[in-house]
Structure 1
Amino acid sequence: MVAVAAAPFLGCGHRAQPHRPLTAPLDPAPPIAAPACPPDAAPSRRYAVPSTALSERAARAALAAHFAPHQIAGHLAHHSAEDVWQYGVRHDASGRLAQYKPREELANAQLTCQFVIPSDDVWPAALADLGANCPLGLWVRGHEQLPELTAHAVAVTGNRAATAQALTRTQAFAAAVAEAGHTVTATLAYGVDSTAHRAAARAGLATLAVLPRGLDHAHPHDHAQLLSSIPASGGTVVSLFRPGAPASGATLRASAALLAALVRAVVLVEALDHAEAAMHTAEVAADLNRPVLVPPPTDEMRADGSLRLLAEQRAVLVPDPAHALAALR
């Protein structure tokens, strides 16, 4: 990959003045096949935009399909997404970018998935904390009340192969967090995360889910019903990845960082040190100065990651849900 010329990153969607010529070639990542989302819902009028605004939205979606944010953050600090995309097309020796049709791809995907960009009123301002890794946009499915859901979002995450005691504790913490007015936020993973969504749903409260793949399928696949139930009950599902993009180790890590940035705190119920997604969420949250709250482990061998964060003073012990809520005030 050719390094992008260094330029000050001004946060999500902001550009410095004046525009300056692009001088560094952009190396595209391998393209991902992207079939359109299944047409199971009407497009949201909230994201209907004039044709003059579509080029920036379509260009950001196209850039997000081929580049990691940090690869082009320097360019976007001084140029529109459309300018950066057109420059990339002109200088892509492989011709892959020229074959990609940004407007058509976006139109197909937005049959069911909205692509939200930093200039939208609903864009989560907290994502600016990611700096050069601030997403180019977010794919959104469901009731796109992102400001309302993220204003008090709290992640509840942990092991996929969680112990029975950890799942019981997850239910208690997630229900308490939701009933106190916070948005339970998690992946759809087995174990702690999916249990947290279901606990909040039983309390009749909406949740926010972060997926490591395109929103046309659940991850894991057999949580498709859970995926559908979240927007149906007033919640939202978001992803960094366009429809058709599969999950991988890289997308899991990127989504874990997104989860950390979207929330104001993380409840790490139980996490093995090699539980990559949950631990990455907790560690990124700590780096972003989000509180990481750890209930007392019921099985120290299954919570060595949680215990390490406590020992490093990067997490706070919360004996019960009441203490967690007090820490969130």
Structure 2
Amino acid sequence: MATRTLRRRLHHGDLDGKKNEIIHGSMSDSLDEPLLGNYNYGGNHSERYDHSSEQDILDDKKKEQLHWTYIFSNLIQQWTQWLENIIAGSGSVLGRFLPFPSVIQNGRPIYLSPLQEERLRILRERLQVPFDSACLDHQNALKQLWRLAYPNRELPPLKSELWKEMGWQGTDPSTDFRGGGYISLENLIFFAKNYPESFQVLLHKQEGKRAEWEYPFAVAGINISFTLIQMLDLQSDTPTSTAGVRFLEILGRDEHAFDNLYCVAFRMMDAQWLAKRASYMEFNEVLKSTRTQIERELALEDITSVKDLPAYTMLNK
């Protein structure tokens, strides 16, 4: 609870209140001198000050006040520097729990925890990996997608007319990854493994009145990955969009936030497709309206995870 309170005060810039509380306590414990100077007593049991002039007494009081004001100011400065060092020091125990500004939005600092920073770093590393048809791991991932999509069918060669049935544009799926990279294949695999019913419904176009010229499933998935990357400013040094900043908050609670959001976006895109009675030539328009709807839902209050999004309920149908 104390860490949460300190984080909240740091986030709102309310450092003065905390400084006063802590430093005042430290000073009062260490002081063993009277704040207004020393007194001498003597003569016929009557109390007399060494300074007979009232003006001298006032001058002494002012000197004492200035003296302690100076000490107090120095302690505040030292406390501020100490606090900054804790926040900046990633090796410090407290530094692991205190937030630090990593993103600036509209001139205001956005505080990311070390956990958020690490997950964002990992996600950005995923974005940099292109699909490599010569890479054995990438070939195996493509085969895994086929097995998840068609568990009762024989695995075709990596170049085959059968891949078109999944929604690839040609006989070689590797030629369709140009914009999405390897992460778009990871997204499809995540969708198939974690939400298999929705995956199969979209793959086989099992809901609604479909157009004669349908969108190709796999290629649509790559386009959704690319759209989310742009919408969330994931390739920028400092995300500035509201959706991007809200996503960073969600990422701190769910390391699979991007993949889960991808599944929601795919389901939402298909719903938009049906609502608009769209055909292949209108796919970009549907994708644009899907992005707008996701941005609206991310901007809603009390959204702390992808599962809080209204559209997430579609994945359970």
Shorter-chain TM band: under 0.3
Instruction: Flag the structure with more relative contact order, 1 or 2, with Cα contacts below 8 A and sequence separation at least 6.
Output: 1
Report the TM-score when normalising by structure 2.
0.25
Report the TM-score when normalising by structure 1.
0.25
Higher helix proportion (structure 1 or 2): 2
Higher strand proportion (structure 1 or 2): 1
